[in-house]
């Protein structure tokens, strides 16, 4: 069996009792970054074999993992933060498990876009998760299409690209479109900045931006 285990997006206390129980029971823990996962596991005194599973090796090792799972191994999959498969590696292995009739279980737990959406003050009844916008090829096309989207839109963004992305959104969506930027959710220096794209752009353009970013943008009226 493969079990997808969400991990805290910041505060280590935001892990479920069930997740800790699963991590204690499995044979192997697959980790996007073994160093990052070791911090969590050491905090809860969990000592299990760690094996790297990330976007650079997943195509090479997926069949090997399937062979082990079919032999009866019980594995947990962790990413650096949040729920595996949400802008993080997991899909390829889950698809292979489904194709090979290997049981897959996904635990409920942390993911950054849900608290960012809920505290944005923007409509939550209909929304679309876009993850990271294309950096180069396809970026203009994506922005043109999304400018007509009526649902609330959610994006992940690097702190190094946030100001540029806000500027691009202003160009295609207009300066007055409402948005919210959530930074360092659940951590000591959590920040939520709400306003128009122009207001939020100017705010972050005037300061050094750090941390994990979730950007929520209102849909077209």
Sequence ranges of the domains in the chain: 2-106, 113-217
What are the angstrom distances between the C-alpha of 16 and each of 20, 49, 77, 107, 121?
A: 7, 21, 15, 9, 27
Buried b (16+ CB within 10 A) or exposed e, 21-38: ebbeebebbbbbbbeebe
Closest CA to 50 of 64, 35, 63: 35
Residue 104: its pLDDT value, please? 98
The C-alpha angle 121, 184, 134, rounded to 5 degrees, equals 80
Tell me which H or E stretch contains 21.
helix 17-25
Smallest CA-to-CA distance from 157 within 166, 147, 170, 148 is with 166
Q: How high is the pLDDT of residue 59?
A: 95
Token pair 């009792």 in the structure block, residue: 17
Tokens (6 digits) for 32:
């996007």
- Per-residue pLDDT band at 185 (split at 50, 70, 90): very high
Q: Whole-model pTM?
A: 0.91
pLDDT at 27: 98
Mean pLDDT, residues 70-95 taken together: 96
Report pLDDT for 195: 98
Which band of pLDDT confidence, cut at 50, 70 and 90, is reported for residue 56?
very high
Q: Which fold has domain 2-106?
A: Cobalt-precorrin-4 Transmethylase; domain 1 (3.40.1010)
User: Mean pLDDT of all residues in the chain?
Assistant: 96
Identify whether the C-beta of residue 194 lies closer than 8 Å to the C-beta of residue 179: yes
What integer pLDDT is reported at residue 16 of this predicted model? 96
pLDDT mean over 23-31: 97
- Report the pLDDT value the prediction gives residue 26, as an integer from 0 to 100: 98
Each residue's pLDDT tens digit, 14-23: 999 999 999 9
- Average pLDDT (39-44) is 96
Determine whether domain 113-217 maps to CATH 1.10.15.40. no
Query: Across-strand partners of 191?
Result: 183
Q: Rounded to the nearest 5°, which phi and psi values hold at 112?
A: -65, -35
Average pLDDT over residues 102-125: 96
CA of residue 210 relative to chain centroid, distance: 17
């Amino acid at each position: 069996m493969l079990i997808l285990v969400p991990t805290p997006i910041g505060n280590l206390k935001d892990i479920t009792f069930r997740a800790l129980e699963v991590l204690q029971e499995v044979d192997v823990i697959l980790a996007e970054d073994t160093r990052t996962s070791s911090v969590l596991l050491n905090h809860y005194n969990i000592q299990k074999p760690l094996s790297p599973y990330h976007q650079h090796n997943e195509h090479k090792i997926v069949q090997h993992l399937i062979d082990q799972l079919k032999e009866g191994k019980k594995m947990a999959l962790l990413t650096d933060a949040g729920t595996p498969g949400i802008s993080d590696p997991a899909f390829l292995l889950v698809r292979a498990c489904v194709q090979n009739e290997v049981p897959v279980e996904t635990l409920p737990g942390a993911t950054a876009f849900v608290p960012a959406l809920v505290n944005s003050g923007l409509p939550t009844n209909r929304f679309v998760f876009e993850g990271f916008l294309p950096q180069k090829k396809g970026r203009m096309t994506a922005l043109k299409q999304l400018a007509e989207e009526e649902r609330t839109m959610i994006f992940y963004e690097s702190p190094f690209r946030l100001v540029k992305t806000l500027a691009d959104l202003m160009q295609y969506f207009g300066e007055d479109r409402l948005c919210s930027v959530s930074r360092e959710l659940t951590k000591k220096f959590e920040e939520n900045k709400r306003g128009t794209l122009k207001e939020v752009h100017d705010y972050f353009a005037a300061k050094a931006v750090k941390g994990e970013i979730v950007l929520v943008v209102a849909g077209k009226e």
